[in-house]
């Protein structure tokens, strides 16, 4: 089986966020345990599996994402990587594809000047008390905390960009918090520059100590910062070691996330799909 590693939310190899992508032949899904073991073997934050659907329906492909330890409900960078793989194979047709997923129907399109735009549901941010041990786990004071609804993460605002960039959290303590992951953010030092806010994302309980660039996180970050800063089009910089820019545009109850992608590995998985267990 063909498998690719594609760096998403970047136009340079070995930056942005790498995802593994398998475009399956179908007609059925392979065994879930096999897909989970492939994701564990790849040991990237997500491995995406896409299965073609019969023509004429509400979606063209079925898309699933696996971290090294579990199946994810939503993943932006691995979706962008999947669309890039499909474009490379001439499978986009009208330069647009509709996916059915655990987060409903997701639409992605190829832009005329290059890059891709993902149409994802916006996720709410509701103020909540800081969980016990949060400050100690992050190693920095928290100004305010928010629940992100279906996303399942805790969004926390920190004092400034420098604080976000210098975080060195206790990942064992972060994994013990009652949340899927912790999304730390702050306004950019210069909001009139290339980006208006910064973030970092830690999800050790899901097998992701730190995610390099998290598209799904921006479905909560974009509504939050749009309310704080005004405007509907913002760019976020995820300040991980690899780093990456995510352009966000609010459109009603949706968020449009834009970025580029680069294929860095194209190979063969010699342990092929196992049939689904009955």
Among 46, 161, 210, 249, the one annotated catalytic: 46
Q: What is the DSSP string of the chain?
A: -EEEEEEES-SSTT-SEEEEEEE---SS-B-HHHHHHHHHHHTSS-EEEEEE--TTSS-SEEEEEE-SSSEES--HHHHHHHHHHHHHTT--TTTEEEEEETTEEEEEEE-TTS-EEEEEE----EEEPPPTTHHHHHTS--SEEEE-GGG--EEEE-S-HHHHHT----HHHHHTSSSS-EEEEEE-S-TTSS-SEEEEEEEGGGTEEEESS-TTTHHHHHHHHHHHH-SSEEEEEE-SSS-EEEEEEEETTEEEEEE-EEEEEEEE-SSPPPBPP-
46 is catalytic: yes
The catalytic residues are: 46
């Amino acid at each position: 089986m063909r498998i690719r590693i594609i760096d998403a939310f970047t136009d340079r190899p070995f930056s942005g966020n790498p995802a593994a992508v398998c475009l399956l032949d179908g007609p059925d899904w392979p065994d879930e345990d096999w897909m989970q073991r492939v994701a564990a073997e790849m040991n990237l934050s997500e491995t995406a599996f896409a299965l073609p659907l019969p023509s004429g329906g509400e979606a063209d492909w079925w898309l699933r994402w696996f971290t090294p330890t579990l199946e994810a409900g939503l993943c932006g960078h691995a979706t962008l990587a999947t669309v890039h793989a499909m474009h490379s194979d001439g499978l986009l047709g009208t330069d647009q594809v509709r996916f059915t997923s655990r987060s409903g129907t997701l639409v992605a399109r190829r832009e005329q000047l290059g890059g891709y735009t993902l149409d994802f549901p916006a996720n709410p941010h509701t103020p909540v008390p800081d969980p016990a041990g949060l400050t100690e786990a992050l190693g920095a004071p928290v100004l305010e905390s928010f629940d992100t609804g279906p996303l399942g993460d805790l969004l926390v605002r920190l004092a400034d960009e420098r604080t976000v960039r210098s975080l060195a959290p206790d990942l064992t303590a972060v994994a013990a918090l009652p949340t899927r992951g912790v999304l730390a953010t702050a306004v950019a030092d210069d909001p009139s520059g290339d980006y208006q806010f910064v973030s970092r994302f830690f999800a050790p309980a899901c097998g992701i100590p730190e995610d390099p660039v998290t598209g799904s996180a921006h479905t909560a970050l974009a509504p939050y910062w749009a309310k704080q800063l005004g405007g509907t089009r913002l760019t976020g910089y995820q300040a991980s070691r690899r780093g990456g820019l995510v352009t966000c545009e609010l459109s009603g109850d949706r968020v449009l996330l834009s970025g580029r992608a680069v294929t860095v590995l194209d190979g063969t998985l010699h342990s092929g799909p196992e049939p689904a267990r009955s």
